[in-house]
Structure 1
Amino acid sequence: MALARYHGFAQALHWLTAATLCLLLPFVWVAENFPPGRERVFWYLLHESTGFCVFLLVVLRLTWRWRHRAPPYPASIAQWARVLAALNHGLLYMTLLVMPVTGYLMAGNGQPVPIFRLFSLPGFPTHHALGQWADTVHLAGQFVLYTLVLMHVAATVWHVAVRRDGLLERMLPAQQVPPGKEHRD
């Protein structure tokens, strides 16, 4: 029986989200190493703009997922593992929505937020308590995100290296194997 895979569009959104997150984090780390000034503003602009892209990607992913069910797990995946996977995925989606929203609440507190200098999201009147709350949630959220991503990647490595059950293949395009080159364990 062939392994059920995610649709190619869902796969593309998954890997595009992962790649965007890999860009997002270094932008803020670099920004923090500059003193206040143009360079720091530039790197924060990249971080905030990329965060906006993550938000759009996650909304698109959730919209797609609402209309297209995930493929079923292979029968070999235990129920407890399915529950943990669903919990991790749900928390990842939630965190990937909360982080851009709190980032916007921080950046837009009293000023517009430019997106790649192409357009700006409107700012709102300065609200110190809201800005502080957003800053606290955003800073704590980064560690939640690191933990969830690490768990997601660790589970993937476990399925690839230990279980060798092909579960990662669900999120990869089908491969054409030339005749006579089939892999045998």
Structure 2
Amino acid sequence: MVHDLMARYTGIAQALHWLTVAALCLLLPFVWVAENFPPGPIRVFWYMAHESMGISVFLMVLMRLTWRWGHPAPAYPVGTHRVTVVLAGLTHGLLYLVLLVMPVTGYLMAGNGQDVPFFRLVDLPGFAHDEALGKAADTVHVACQFAVYGLIVLHVAATVWHVAVRRNGMLERMLPPQRLP
């Protein structure tokens, strides 16, 4: 069983992780809603929400990587297989990469010939229209969409495996200590 001496991520790392999860849970529905409205102000609003949340994810991932640079991940539980450590590192690395590439390609699409509103608070500068760049960004963005789906499913499945089958306390590394009455 897990005890209070379990090595955990810092509170800031945990907060950034769960804020990123929440933002990702909003990104997809925002674009689904946008796609289901005809051109007009409602569609523009939902695309702005999607793009703004994508920029937020980009900033959170940069903060996570910056924080992680100075605060390494906690040690794995004793007895964790080397293969598990390597696969976890590969999955996390690919998730970070995809979660940086997607907002960049999204920005290249949204800012192609126009400014990009960030939650209607500020307009981020776009750049000159470039059809080839827009198409390339769209292709990469869609490919990354499926990569992020697969990586998130893999990440969640591994978490479920560690919680339900291995029962080795792996999830507790990303949770604050639990106080029992």
What TM-score, normalized by structure 2, do the two folds share? 0.97
Instruction: Determine the structure 2 residue equivalent to 1:89.
Output: 92
Rounded to whole Å, the distance in 2 between the matches of 1:100 and 1:150 is: 20
Structure 1 runs, 4 residues or longer, greater than 2 Å off: none
2:119 corresponds to which letter in structure 1? F
What is the CA distance between 1:74 and its match in structure 2?
1.1
Instruction: Determine the structure 2 residue equivalent to 1:160.
Output: 163
Instruction: Determine the structure 2 residue equivalent to 1:107.
Output: 110
Rounded to whole Å, the distance in 1 between the matches of 2:86 and 2:143 is: 25
Question: Among the aligned pairs, what percent are the same residue?
Answer: 69
Rounded to whole Å, the distance in 2 between the matches of 1:134 and 1:120 is: 20
Rounded to whole Å, the distance in 2 between the matches of 1:87 and 1:108 is: 31
Question: What secondary structure is seen at the aligned counterpart in 2 of 1:46?
Answer: helix
Query: Is structure 2 residue 37 aligned with structure 1 residue 8?
Result: no
Which of residues 24, 28, 31 is equivalent to 1:28? 31
What is the CA distance between 1:36 and its match in structure 2?
1.1
What TM-score, normalized by structure 1, do the two folds share? 0.95
Q: Structure 1, residues 133-162: CA drift from partner, whole Å, max 9, x if none?
A: 000000111000000000000000000111
Q: Structure 1, residues 12-38: CA drift from partner, whole Å, max 9, x if none?
A: 000000001001110001111111111
Query: Is structure 2 residue 28 aligned with structure 1 residue 17?
Result: no
Count how many residue pairs are aligned between Structure 1 and Structure 2. Answer: 178
Alignment gaps of 5+ in structure 1: 179-185
Rounded to whole Å, the distance in 2 between the matches of 1:177 and 1:126 is: 58
C-alpha contact 2:77 2:169 (8 A) present in aligned 1: no
Highest RCO, 1 vs 2 (Cα 8 Å, sep ≥ 6): 2
